[in-house]
Structure 1
């Protein structure tokens, strides 16, 4: 998916999500956990998002709670069967899916095990995206990361130091800023650091709500789908070819 709100301003910068874009998606781990524990597809994702900005996961990404408190609260939220089932039924109805699906009557979702698996999956770079970032910087474009992350994740910190230290002009983290996607203020923060207008940027993410927020600000939003990262790379190249400040031959 590609959404271009502005066809007038020249592209000066490209902004990348990390998990699911620059590295493999933690949703791979979530899907595997659902299959292994007999949960319907996207059940955990619905449980994760149903609390909006006030859930344990979202608060952890803003740096408002510590790691242990997050795991305890998130595990409790994931195992609120009645509320999660109601949210999942609404999810099925919105998408006109099988509303007669048999939902779990009880769950024993281990938030600690699930989170560890998610972080393990996210250690693996998406090579084609990393190469795109290197090419963009070499071609004179400003490049930034805009990531919802976790302050106390030592593995993530090491990965950033080893993989990302030379990749980005700016590395903007939810736990440092105290904001997270899809809050428009978070997008404006990275634009200010890059000294560009939103309409002068391309934004890559794997989550629809984050892409819609970027689109509303006038960014050229590119959806990165699991297993189709190379298609997103080609979309960015097409945008840069058409609207880039250099419009190089690719």
Structure 2
């Protein structure tokens, strides 16, 4: 079995993401109540619209600011996202040791693509130009089409790609698209998968 690409999820694999912490940090930075941030980002549907590509970064930040009666800039947004995204050292160590090309596919908006180099500096520049978000395609995992379009952009065949995600629903979607796919949540799990596919 030949694997030419390791395709990675972000939240739940590369980092442990805590939404409540992100809401709290953004609330503190803006001087508003956490409940107001929760309502503006998530209850309003703005986060989902950004993740789907319906709103680009500037339009998303402008709308959040209007709802909160504050100016929300990229740095403030990124700092809150970074505070809530805890890198998994054991996962990153294993990935840094690989010679295999890597790419990222995450259900997030364009702002996350911009933030990722500062969230995970260990994996850049290897991932430069190889980060794909649901917003890029207007599609979310587990839709098989989002995997196919990502690989088409990279010029890699599904049969030669290994995808790892913490959610089995996304693994199933990748398999339906013809990729090899496994559930991974930590460094130990990743190590087992890499060994099984004779990558490590």
**TM-score, normalised on structure 2?**
0.65
Q: 1:125 offset after TM fit, Å?
A: 1.5
Give the counterpart of 1:58 among 48, 52, 57.
48
- For residue 127 of structure 2, what is the aligned residue in structure 1? 168
Change (3 A) 1:240 1:27: farther
User: Which gives a bigger RCO, structure 1 or 2 (Cα 8 Å, sep 6+)?
Assistant: 1
Are positions 1:188 and 2:151 aligned together?
no
1-side partners of 2:102 and 2:126: how far apart? 8
Q: Is the 8 A contact 2:96 2:123 kept in 1?
A: no
Give the counterpart of 2:13 among 21, 39, 57.
21
Rg larger for: 1
What residue ranges of structure 2 are gaps of 5+ in the alignment?
23-41, 68-78
Q: 1:204 offset after TM fit, Å?
A: 1.0
Q: Secondary structure at the match of 1:24?
A: strand
Where do 1:133-172 residues align within 5 Å?
133-136=95-98, 138=99, 141-152=100-111, 156=115, 159=118, 162-168=121-127, 170-172=130-132
Q: Is the 8 A contact 1:11 1:201 kept in 2?
A: yes
**TM-score, normalised on structure 1?**
0.54
More displaced stretch, 198-207 vs 188-197: 188-197
1-side partners of 2:156 and 2:134: how far apart? 20
Give the counterpart of 1:127 among 63, 85, 89.
89
- For residue 29 of structure 2, what is the aligned residue in structure 1? none
Q: 1:215 offset after TM fit, Å?
A: 1.9
Q: Is the 8 A contact 1:67 1:152 kept in 2?
A: no
